[in-house]
Structure 1
Amino acid sequence: MKFARILAGTALAALALTSPAPAQDASTVKLALIDGQSGPNGFIGESMRQHLQFFAERKNAAGGVLGGRKFDVVAFDNKFDPQETIVQLQKAIDAGARYVFHGNSSAVAGAIVDFLEKHNRRNPDKSVLYINFAALDPVLTNDKCSFWHFRFDADVNIRTAAITNQIQKDPSIKKVYLFNQDYSFGKAVRAAATQMLKDKRPDIQIVGDELIPLQKVTDFTPYIAKIRATGADAVISANWGNDLNQLVKTGGELGLPVKWFTYFANGEGGVTALGAAGVGRVFAVSEWHMNVPEATSEKMAEEFGKKFNRDLFFYRLNTVITMLAQSMDEAKTTDPKAVALKLETMAFKTPLGDTYVRAQDHQFYQPLYVSVMSDDVPKKLEKTPFGFKTVGMSAAKETEVPTTCKMQRP
């Protein structure tokens, strides 16, 4: 789906470009989370909201920003739909939000970027900054890069590089099946995996390339049969939500003997759905996981678990909130343009290692871990006997990928 078409079909978009935004409470800085909060995958949006609130409250308790102003997190339900996103984005702006957080769906991310480019050009005194912490289509920091967009997660190319590095080291893998969702993100994964496998392991045969309708499949049995028929040794899948959990769960129930290289299997619901079938077979790539031995994150994970009765996953949001607050303090204002100019050149040392934003395209770089599901780890997930353990790690500099971004600056 082309991002421009999303906006063209949204009747409220034109009005949104000139709608007035009331001044927000001077004692707070409103952070609008625009993501799915309802439906079968609403638990993901709920988790995002709780993570953002948790880290914002920690920062508030430590003194907030600019001498005491507090972050105020407000969630807007976009129902995982690009058109509904524009409606909710306008509501957020009308409510005084100048900072928008979003994660699920690169199609939604593209709609937000297009909208804010127009809005900020026409309303320079009411500009809005977009913090993307989970939408991974590389186009967002390449041909569609925007001064008003920062991505604080590893994109498709970065994650796929980590995954294919792991596959490269495994001589038992001779045949790979690609299984992804049929939208921009899944297609980007397909392209990246195909090229990187060719470059790193030209002996590997890609025996299948499946794109499924996003969150529409209810029975994965026929797909498991197709994968089995190819003799695949491994499956690369960037599916998320039920499209991932049910796929791998069905494969385990039917005894499909493959390794699953995923982007999100260590996310909420993963180990519960996969069970023992995932042990030693399901891999994930992330900036952190529960069994990374680091005292500060271990304490945060414990606090988060007690507060919300779920496992900490979006560790990166702690880094985002910290860097955003530091940018505001250095800029001595919450004006999005001034803050962006500080944020885009920021290097920040976390307990896990050095991180930084690349000013050229506003892509954030951080250490990455490849982990495998295990029943032999100290920290378990979701009250199961399972968790993830590290099998590979890359420093931030080692994950850099080229960009074609030619950013237009205000």
Structure 2
Amino acid sequence: MAYPVKATIFATAVAFASPAAAEGIKIANIENFTGPGSTTNREYALAAKYWADTVNAAGGIKGNNIEYFEYDSQGSTATAAEKFRSAIADGAQIIVQSGSSGIAGQLTEDVRKHNLRNPEHPVVYLTAGAEALELTGEKCHFYFFRFAPNAAMRVKALITVMQKQGALGKKVFAINPNYSWGTDMQTSTEASAAAGGYAVVDTVLHETNKSQDFGPYVARMKSAGADTVITGSWGNDLILMMKEIDRTGLDVSFAAMFLDLPGMIENAGPSSAGYFAVETANREVGGEATEKLYADYAAKLGHTPSSSEVRTIFGMWALQAALEQVDVSGTLNVTDLAKALEAVSIDTPMGKIAVRAEDHQGALPLIVSQVSADAKFKRESLDIGLKPVSLVEGAASINPVQPSCKMQRP
């Protein structure tokens, strides 16, 4: 089912029919609204819709409104593929999805195959959250763009700053979810050991959002003699892990990629003081421009945006900048749009964001923060928040082009 933002309803076409040329700017957001992890995934769609509503309220792109539709993948690759076919039948030229690297792996292949079969009517796919390295590696293609970091970028920024702060130990325990993102995190943590001056003493890849007991994993941390834990786990897994570390009194430096998301610090409580996070946004960075964005978002959606929501907005700003460079008066030329996206460079309150043409990885500023009572913006019912420690510019944060990316240009 599609959930239209505008009153216009597309006529339903046969899913396997050849796509017709569609006029206007039609964006399909294929996101997990009802499946496991949907609470976190939904944030990306909220931000994309906020951007579309804001652009349309200001007169659209060169006077043309954006038609924005949402499709529920239910957290399933099979359902995502089905919704992709529905979106194409509905005339979508731009696909947006951010909540899962697994879903992204399915959709980027769907987009690639569709474009091979329909070279006259290609579609472009943007993500602000799917961070698996393969998406800009072996699965890279001309019509995929990532406005999010990846594991290599996050780990590099994190260990560089933690090392300078004297907070990075010599014995690192890597614990991550057992899918592409988690294996990338483990590989990146191991690959950074020499630069970080540490040894990885043990690794765990756990099932995602299925375990209710992280006791055995924390026991392994203690048994391995770890003094630092680096994790790409998220959601309830991250909460349970932090609670178990607190319960057992394990004394480690702790760094999580998604510690800033709503509910993480709130559930961990005061014991999370000193923990590190690395993200693309922090409300203390960017001054008046940041405050204006956060205030407007809160006024319209009823809550301040998470870093995932802010990153999505920045990604959509990049799309907007590219759309401004092409003809949108009739049928959108998606190839011209992709070429414009390759050259895009925008200024955001957090810093400059650009696209690397070789693999379409976004070069984004990364902010390493630490849970502290010195944070300006405290978490609900707590006297702590995320205090920025260091900002790493996009040109310094981006990882090298992966040799496995063999991009074919039209």
TM-score (norm 2): 0.89
**Cα distance per residue 1:143-171 (max 9 Å; x no partner):** 22111100000111111111121233326
Q: How far did residue 293 of structure 1 move?
A: 4.4
Matched, 1:190 2:190: no
Residue 292 of structure 1 corresponds to which residue in structure 2?
Answer: 285
Residue 103 of structure 2 corresponds to which residue in structure 1?
Answer: 108
Residue 365 of structure 2 corresponds to which residue in structure 1?
Answer: 367
- Structure-2 separation of matches of 1:380 and 1:293: 17
Q: How far did residue 361 of structure 1 move?
A: 0.5
* 1:162 counterpart SS class: helix
Residue 177 of structure 2 corresponds to which residue in structure 1?
Answer: 181
Residue 230 of structure 2 corresponds to which residue in structure 1?
Answer: 236
- Structure-1 separation of matches of 2:41 and 2:168: 38
Q: Residue type matched to 2:238 in 1?
A: L
Residue 141 of structure 2 corresponds to which residue in structure 1?
Answer: 146
Residue 246 of structure 2 corresponds to which residue in structure 1?
Answer: 252
Counterparts of 1:93-132 in structure 2 under 5 Å?
A: 93-132=88-127
Q: Residue type matched to 2:282 in 1?
A: H
- Structure-1 separation of matches of 2:342 and 2:178: 32
8 Å contact from structure 2 (residues 25, 64) kept in 1: yes
Q: Residue type matched to 2:281 in 1?
A: W
Residue 42 of structure 2 corresponds to which residue in structure 1?
Answer: 46
Q: Residue type matched to 2:299 in 1?
A: K
Find the partner of 2:33 among 23, 33, 37.
Answer: 37
Q: How far did residue 382 of structure 1 move?
A: 4.3
1:295 to 1:408, Cα distance in 2 relative to 1, 3 A: same
**Cα distance per residue 1:186-208 (max 9 Å; x no partner):** 1111111101112331xx23221
**Cα distance per residue 1:39-63 (max 9 Å; x no partner):** 4522112222211111222222222
Q: How far did residue 172 of structure 1 move?
A: 6.0
1:269 to 1:20, Cα distance in 2 relative to 1, 3 A: farther
RMSD: 2.0
Residue 76 of structure 2 corresponds to which residue in structure 1?
Answer: 81
- Structure-2 separation of matches of 1:245 and 1:31: 34
8 Å contact from structure 1 (residues 176, 208) kept in 2: yes
Q: How far did residue 90 of structure 1 move?
A: 1.2
User: What are the ranges of 5 or more consecutive residues in structure 1 without an aligned counterpart?
Assistant: 1-14
**Cα distance per residue 1:65-94 (max 9 Å; x no partner):** 1x2222233222212222221011112222
8 Å contact from structure 1 (residues 179, 209) kept in 2: yes
1:182 to 1:172, Cα distance in 2 relative to 1, 3 A: closer
Q: Residue type matched to 2:221 in 1?
A: I
Residue 273 of structure 1 corresponds to which residue in structure 2?
Answer: 267
8 Å contact from structure 2 (residues 33, 41) kept in 1: yes
**Cα distance per residue 1:298-355 (max 9 Å; x no partner):** 1211222233233312212222222212212211133221100111012222233222
Residue 395 of structure 1 corresponds to which residue in structure 2?
Answer: 393
Find the partner of 1:340 among 329, 338, 341.
Answer: 338
User: What are the ranges of 5 or more consecutive residues in structure 2 without an aligned counterpart?
Assistant: 1-13
Residue 17 of structure 2 corresponds to which residue in structure 1?
Answer: 19
- Structure-2 separation of matches of 1:335 and 1:248: 48
Q: How far did residue 22 of structure 1 move?
A: 6.0
1:214 to 1:342, Cα distance in 2 relative to 1, 3 A: same
- Structure-2 separation of matches of 1:288 and 1:70: 28
8 Å contact from structure 1 (residues 36, 78) kept in 2: yes
Which moved further from structure 2: 355-364 or 308-317?
308-317
* 1:296 counterpart SS class: helix
Q: Residue type matched to 1:37 in 2?
A: F
Q: How far did residue 36 of structure 1 move?
A: 1.3
Q: Identity percentage over the alignment?
A: 30
8 Å contact from structure 2 (residues 30, 96) kept in 1: yes
- Structure-1 separation of matches of 2:271 and 2:162: 20
8 Å contact from structure 1 (residues 310, 382) kept in 2: no
* 2:120 counterpart SS class: helix
Matched, 1:221 2:219: no
Q: How far did residue 265 of structure 1 move?
A: 0.7
- Structure-2 separation of matches of 1:366 and 1:199: 22
Q: How far did residue 129 of structure 1 move?
A: 0.8
Counterparts of 1:202-217 in structure 2 under 5 Å?
A: 204-217=198-211
